[in-house]
Structure 1
Amino acid sequence: MKLSRTVSYALQATLQLAEAESDNPVPCSRLAAEGKMPERFLLQILRNLVAHGVLESTRGVDGGYTLRQSPAEISLLNIIEAVDGPMVSSLPVAEGLHEKSRRKLEELLDQVNDEARTRLAAIRLSDLTCGHRATADAARDPMSFR
Protein backbone atom coordinates (compact mmCIF):
# COMPACT_ATOMS: atom_id res chain seq x y z
CA MET A 1 0.00 0.00 0.00
CA LYS A 2 1.41 3.37 -0.99
CA LEU A 3 0.60 6.41 1.13
CA SER A 4 0.57 9.82 -0.52
CA ARG A 5 2.96 12.55 0.56
CA THR A 6 -0.11 14.39 1.87
CA VAL A 7 -0.99 11.48 4.16
CA SER A 8 2.64 11.17 5.22
CA TYR A 9 2.76 14.84 6.27
CA ALA A 10 -0.64 14.60 7.98
CA LEU A 11 0.50 11.56 9.93
CA GLN A 12 3.79 13.22 10.84
CA ALA A 13 2.04 16.37 12.10
CA THR A 14 -0.57 14.46 14.11
CA LEU A 15 2.16 12.33 15.68
CA GLN A 16 4.07 15.49 16.62
CA LEU A 17 0.91 16.79 18.31
CA ALA A 18 0.31 13.44 20.05
CA GLU A 19 3.84 13.53 21.46
CA ALA A 20 3.76 17.21 22.44
CA GLU A 21 4.74 17.86 26.04
CA SER A 22 1.80 20.18 26.77
CA ASP A 23 -1.80 20.77 25.78
CA ASN A 24 -0.92 24.18 24.33
CA PRO A 25 -1.65 24.70 20.62
CA VAL A 26 1.34 24.15 18.34
CA PRO A 27 1.76 26.62 15.45
CA CYS A 28 1.99 25.32 11.90
CA SER A 29 5.40 26.96 11.53
CA ARG A 30 6.80 24.89 14.40
CA LEU A 31 5.29 21.64 13.10
CA ALA A 32 6.72 22.37 9.65
CA ALA A 33 10.17 23.28 10.94
CA GLU A 34 10.49 20.33 13.33
CA GLY A 35 9.10 17.90 10.77
CA LYS A 36 11.01 19.37 7.81
CA MET A 37 7.76 19.85 5.87
CA PRO A 38 6.82 22.72 3.54
CA GLU A 39 4.80 25.13 5.68
CA ARG A 40 2.27 26.25 3.04
CA PHE A 41 1.49 22.68 2.04
CA LEU A 42 1.25 21.62 5.67
CA LEU A 43 -1.17 24.47 6.39
CA GLN A 44 -3.57 23.09 3.75
CA ILE A 45 -3.28 19.63 5.26
CA LEU A 46 -3.92 20.92 8.79
CA ARG A 47 -7.01 22.77 7.58
CA ASN A 48 -8.36 19.51 6.13
CA LEU A 49 -7.69 17.74 9.42
CA VAL A 50 -9.60 20.50 11.25
CA ALA A 51 -12.49 20.30 8.77
CA HIS A 52 -12.72 16.53 9.31
CA GLY A 53 -12.65 16.73 13.10
CA VAL A 54 -9.17 15.32 13.69
CA LEU A 55 -7.64 18.61 14.90
CA GLU A 56 -8.78 21.82 16.54
CA SER A 57 -7.31 25.18 15.62
CA THR A 58 -6.88 28.16 17.90
CA ARG A 59 -6.39 31.66 16.51
CA GLY A 60 -4.22 34.38 17.94
CA VAL A 61 -0.72 34.93 19.21
CA ASP A 62 -0.72 31.69 21.18
CA GLY A 63 -2.71 29.88 18.49
CA GLY A 64 -1.99 26.69 16.67
CA TYR A 65 -3.26 23.14 16.45
CA THR A 66 -4.17 20.44 18.95
CA LEU A 67 -5.68 16.98 18.64
CA ARG A 68 -9.46 17.04 19.00
CA GLN A 69 -9.45 13.61 20.69
CA SER A 70 -6.89 11.54 22.54
CA PRO A 71 -4.37 9.66 20.37
CA ALA A 72 -6.09 6.41 21.38
CA GLU A 73 -9.27 7.59 19.65
CA ILE A 74 -7.78 8.72 16.33
CA SER A 75 -7.27 5.99 13.76
CA LEU A 76 -4.92 5.90 10.81
CA LEU A 77 -8.04 5.60 8.64
CA ASN A 78 -9.37 8.90 10.09
CA ILE A 79 -6.19 10.66 9.03
CA ILE A 80 -5.98 9.07 5.57
CA GLU A 81 -9.60 9.81 4.70
CA ALA A 82 -9.39 13.36 6.09
CA VAL A 83 -6.70 14.30 3.60
CA ASP A 84 -7.12 11.88 0.68
CA GLY A 85 -10.88 11.29 0.78
CA PRO A 86 -12.71 8.00 1.22
CA MET A 87 -10.78 4.83 0.45
CA VAL A 88 -12.59 3.09 -2.37
CA SER A 89 -11.52 0.37 -4.73
CA SER A 90 -11.65 1.26 -8.36
CA LEU A 91 -10.92 -0.72 -11.46
CA PRO A 92 -10.24 1.06 -14.74
CA VAL A 93 -12.11 -0.31 -17.70
CA ALA A 94 -10.05 -3.27 -18.86
CA GLU A 95 -10.21 -3.85 -22.60
CA GLY A 96 -10.84 -7.45 -23.52
CA LEU A 97 -11.80 -8.54 -20.00
CA HIS A 98 -15.00 -10.57 -19.95
CA GLU A 99 -17.87 -9.04 -17.96
CA LYS A 100 -18.05 -11.98 -15.56
CA SER A 101 -14.29 -11.80 -14.88
CA ARG A 102 -14.46 -8.03 -14.40
CA ARG A 103 -17.32 -8.35 -11.89
CA LYS A 104 -15.43 -11.06 -9.98
CA LEU A 105 -12.28 -8.92 -9.91
CA GLU A 106 -14.27 -5.89 -8.68
CA GLU A 107 -15.82 -8.05 -5.95
CA LEU A 108 -12.40 -9.27 -4.81
CA LEU A 109 -10.94 -5.74 -4.85
CA ASP A 110 -13.88 -4.55 -2.76
CA GLN A 111 -13.10 -7.27 -0.21
CA VAL A 112 -9.43 -6.24 -0.13
CA ASN A 113 -10.47 -2.59 0.31
CA ASP A 114 -12.85 -3.50 3.16
CA GLU A 115 -10.10 -5.48 4.91
CA ALA A 116 -7.62 -2.60 4.49
CA ARG A 117 -10.16 -0.12 5.91
CA THR A 118 -10.80 -2.41 8.89
CA ARG A 119 -7.09 -2.78 9.61
CA LEU A 120 -6.38 0.94 9.22
CA ALA A 121 -9.30 1.77 11.52
CA ALA A 122 -7.77 -0.51 14.17
CA ILE A 123 -4.40 1.31 14.13
CA ARG A 124 -4.55 4.19 16.57
CA LEU A 125 -2.29 7.20 16.74
CA SER A 126 -1.29 6.02 20.22
CA ASP A 127 0.02 2.79 18.64
CA LEU A 128 2.47 4.84 16.59
CA THR A 129 3.78 7.25 19.19
CA CYS A 130 7.20 6.91 20.78
CA GLY A 131 6.69 9.43 23.54
CA HIS A 132 5.08 9.15 26.94
CA ARG A 133 2.34 11.73 26.30
CA ALA A 134 -0.02 9.53 24.27
CA THR A 135 0.38 6.67 26.72
CA ALA A 136 -0.38 8.95 29.65
CA ASP A 137 -3.50 10.27 27.88
CA ALA A 138 -4.75 6.73 27.29
CA ALA A 139 -4.10 5.77 30.91
CA ARG A 140 -6.12 8.76 32.16
CA ASP A 141 -9.11 7.85 30.00
CA PRO A 142 -10.48 4.45 31.03
CA MET A 143 -13.04 4.60 28.21
CA SER A 144 -10.39 4.83 25.49
CA PHE A 145 -9.84 1.76 23.44
CA ARG A 146 -7.23 0.30 21.15
Structure 2
Amino acid sequence: MKLSRTVAYALQATLQLAETDSQSPVPCSKLAAKGDMPERFLLQVLRNLVTHGILRSTRGVDGGYTLVRPAEQISLLEIIEAIDGPMDSRLPLETEVDTSFQENLKEALASVTSAMRQQLADIKISQLVTKSSSTPRPGIAPSPHIAATSLNEASVPVRQGS
Protein backbone atom coordinates (compact mmCIF):
# COMPACT_ATOMS: atom_id res chain seq x y z
CA MET A 1 0.00 0.00 0.00
CA LYS A 2 1.39 3.36 -0.98
CA LEU A 3 0.34 6.46 0.95
CA SER A 4 0.16 9.83 -0.75
CA ARG A 5 2.26 12.69 0.58
CA THR A 6 -1.00 14.39 1.57
CA VAL A 7 -1.96 11.40 3.75
CA ALA A 8 1.56 11.35 5.22
CA TYR A 9 1.20 15.03 6.21
CA ALA A 10 -2.26 14.38 7.67
CA LEU A 11 -0.92 11.48 9.74
CA GLN A 12 2.12 13.48 10.84
CA ALA A 13 0.04 16.45 11.97
CA THR A 14 -2.46 14.20 13.77
CA LEU A 15 0.39 12.37 15.53
CA GLN A 16 1.92 15.68 16.60
CA LEU A 17 -1.40 16.83 18.03
CA ALA A 18 -1.84 13.51 19.85
CA GLU A 19 1.69 13.82 21.28
CA THR A 20 0.98 17.27 22.73
CA ASP A 21 -1.69 15.68 24.93
CA SER A 22 -3.15 19.12 25.42
CA GLN A 23 -6.43 20.87 24.79
CA SER A 24 -4.51 24.02 23.84
CA PRO A 25 -4.75 24.63 20.09
CA VAL A 26 -1.51 24.17 18.14
CA PRO A 27 -1.01 26.62 15.25
CA CYS A 28 -0.47 25.28 11.74
CA SER A 29 2.87 27.10 11.61
CA LYS A 30 4.14 25.16 14.62
CA LEU A 31 2.97 21.81 13.21
CA ALA A 32 4.58 22.63 9.87
CA ALA A 33 7.88 23.65 11.43
CA LYS A 34 8.13 20.63 13.74
CA GLY A 35 7.12 18.19 11.02
CA ASP A 36 9.16 19.82 8.25
CA MET A 37 6.01 20.25 6.14
CA PRO A 38 5.06 23.12 3.81
CA GLU A 39 2.74 25.35 5.83
CA ARG A 40 0.40 26.44 3.03
CA PHE A 41 -0.17 22.87 1.89
CA LEU A 42 -0.54 21.63 5.48
CA LEU A 43 -3.24 24.25 6.05
CA GLN A 44 -5.34 22.65 3.29
CA VAL A 45 -4.76 19.19 4.79
CA LEU A 46 -5.79 20.37 8.26
CA ARG A 47 -8.95 22.00 6.90
CA ASN A 48 -9.87 18.68 5.32
CA LEU A 49 -9.39 16.90 8.66
CA VAL A 50 -11.61 19.53 10.33
CA THR A 51 -14.30 18.98 7.67
CA HIS A 52 -14.22 15.23 8.39
CA GLY A 53 -14.56 15.69 12.15
CA ILE A 54 -11.06 14.56 13.12
CA LEU A 55 -9.67 17.95 14.16
CA ARG A 56 -11.16 21.10 15.66
CA SER A 57 -10.05 24.52 14.48
CA THR A 58 -9.92 27.50 16.82
CA ARG A 59 -9.54 30.99 15.38
CA GLY A 60 -7.73 33.92 16.86
CA VAL A 61 -4.37 34.82 18.34
CA ASP A 62 -4.31 31.67 20.48
CA GLY A 63 -5.94 29.62 17.74
CA GLY A 64 -4.86 26.42 16.08
CA TYR A 65 -5.85 22.78 15.91
CA THR A 66 -6.77 20.10 18.43
CA LEU A 67 -8.06 16.55 18.15
CA VAL A 68 -11.86 16.29 18.35
CA ARG A 69 -11.62 12.91 20.10
CA PRO A 70 -8.91 11.13 22.09
CA ALA A 71 -6.16 9.54 19.95
CA GLU A 72 -7.41 6.12 21.11
CA GLN A 73 -10.61 6.74 19.13
CA ILE A 74 -9.06 7.93 15.84
CA SER A 75 -8.03 5.24 13.36
CA LEU A 76 -5.60 5.26 10.49
CA LEU A 77 -8.52 4.39 8.21
CA GLU A 78 -10.40 7.56 9.20
CA ILE A 79 -7.45 9.77 8.34
CA ILE A 80 -6.61 8.01 5.08
CA GLU A 81 -10.22 8.10 3.89
CA ALA A 82 -10.66 11.73 5.00
CA ILE A 83 -7.83 12.67 2.66
CA ASP A 84 -8.02 10.17 -0.21
CA GLY A 85 -11.67 9.16 -0.05
CA PRO A 86 -13.09 5.70 0.58
CA MET A 87 -10.86 2.72 -0.17
CA ASP A 88 -12.45 0.56 -2.81
CA SER A 89 -11.58 -2.31 -5.10
CA ARG A 90 -13.12 -1.20 -8.38
CA LEU A 91 -11.58 -2.22 -11.67
CA PRO A 92 -11.26 0.27 -14.54
CA LEU A 93 -14.42 0.33 -16.65
CA GLU A 94 -12.50 -0.35 -19.86
CA THR A 95 -10.96 -3.59 -18.61
CA GLU A 96 -10.99 -5.99 -21.54
CA VAL A 97 -10.80 -9.35 -19.81
CA ASP A 98 -13.00 -12.40 -19.67
CA THR A 99 -16.20 -11.71 -17.69
CA SER A 100 -15.76 -14.71 -15.37
CA PHE A 101 -12.14 -13.71 -14.70
CA GLN A 102 -13.27 -10.15 -14.03
CA GLU A 103 -15.86 -11.36 -11.50
CA ASN A 104 -13.30 -13.56 -9.74
CA LEU A 105 -10.82 -10.69 -9.65
CA LYS A 106 -13.46 -8.30 -8.28
CA GLU A 107 -14.30 -10.80 -5.55
CA ALA A 108 -10.63 -11.28 -4.61
CA LEU A 109 -9.94 -7.53 -4.57
CA ALA A 110 -13.05 -6.88 -2.49
CA SER A 111 -11.83 -9.42 0.06
CA VAL A 112 -8.36 -7.88 0.23
CA THR A 113 -9.76 -4.36 0.49
CA SER A 114 -12.11 -5.39 3.27
CA ALA A 115 -9.25 -6.98 5.24
CA MET A 116 -7.04 -3.92 4.72
CA ARG A 117 -9.82 -1.55 5.81
CA GLN A 118 -10.38 -3.61 8.96
CA GLN A 119 -6.67 -3.60 9.85
CA LEU A 120 -6.41 0.15 9.28
CA ALA A 121 -9.54 0.70 11.39
CA ASP A 122 -7.96 -1.36 14.19
CA ILE A 123 -4.80 0.78 14.30
CA LYS A 124 -5.37 3.85 16.45
CA ILE A 125 -3.32 7.04 16.45
CA SER A 126 -2.46 6.44 20.11
CA GLN A 127 -0.63 3.24 19.12
CA LEU A 128 1.53 5.16 16.66
CA VAL A 129 2.29 7.93 19.14
CA THR A 130 3.65 5.37 21.58
CA LYS A 131 5.73 3.71 18.87
CA SER A 132 7.08 6.94 17.38
CA SER A 133 8.10 8.29 20.78
CA SER A 134 9.72 5.14 22.11
CA THR A 135 11.30 3.48 19.07
CA PRO A 136 14.82 4.81 18.53
CA ARG A 137 16.01 4.82 14.94
CA PRO A 138 19.64 4.08 14.06
CA GLY A 139 21.75 7.23 13.99
CA ILE A 140 18.87 9.44 15.10
CA ALA A 141 18.42 10.70 18.63
CA PRO A 142 15.01 9.76 20.10
CA SER A 143 12.49 12.50 19.48
CA PRO A 144 8.85 12.96 20.43
CA HIS A 145 8.16 13.90 16.79
CA ILE A 146 8.71 11.92 13.63
CA ALA A 147 9.29 13.57 10.27
CA ALA A 148 6.60 13.14 7.62
CA THR A 149 9.11 11.27 5.45
CA SER A 150 9.71 8.69 8.16
CA LEU A 151 6.13 7.41 8.36
CA ASN A 152 7.24 4.51 6.16
CA GLU A 153 9.57 3.49 9.00
CA ALA A 154 6.81 3.34 11.64
CA SER A 155 6.19 -0.26 12.52
CA VAL A 156 2.55 -1.16 12.26
CA PRO A 157 1.28 -4.53 13.49
CA VAL A 158 0.11 -6.77 10.67
CA ARG A 159 -1.96 -9.86 11.34
CA GLN A 160 -1.06 -13.04 9.49
CA GLY A 161 -3.85 -15.28 8.27
CA SER A 162 -7.48 -14.75 9.09
Q: Same fold judged by TM-score > 0.5?
A: yes
Residues in 1 aligned to 2:57 and 2:82: alpha-carbon distance in whole angstroms: 15
So what's the TM-score if we normalise by structure 2?
Answer: 0.78
2:95 corresponding residue in structure 1: 94
> Unaligned regions of 5+ residues in structure 1, if any?
133-146
- The alpha carbon displacement at 1:12 in A equals 0.2
Confirm or deny that 1:117 pairs with 2:135: no
Question: Which residue identity is paired with 1:74?
Answer: I
1:65 corresponding residue in structure 2: 65
C-alpha RMSD of matched pairs (Å): 1.5
Percent identity over the alignment is 62
SS at 1:129's partner residue? helix
Residues in 1 aligned to 2:49 and 2:68: alpha-carbon distance in whole angstroms: 10
Residues in 2 aligned to 1:5 and 1:38: alpha-carbon distance in whole angstroms: 11
Confirm or deny that 1:16 pairs with 2:16: yes
1:1-146 equivalences in 2 (<5 Å): 1-92=1-92, 93-95=94-96, 97-130=97-130, 131=133
Residues in 1 aligned to 2:55 and 2:22: alpha-carbon distance in whole angstroms: 15
Equivalences, count: 132
Residues in 2 aligned to 1:21 and 1:111: alpha-carbon distance in whole angstroms: 37
- The alpha carbon displacement at 1:91 in A equals 1.4
**Segments of 4+ in structure 1 off by > 6 A?**
none
Question: Which residue identity is paired with 2:105?
Answer: L
Residues in 2 aligned to 1:21 and 1:98: alpha-carbon distance in whole angstroms: 54
SS at 2:66's partner residue? strand
Residues in 2 aligned to 1:94 and 1:22: alpha-carbon distance in whole angstroms: 50
Question: Which residue identity is paired with 2:120?
Answer: L
Residues in 2 aligned to 1:58 and 1:20: alpha-carbon distance in whole angstroms: 16
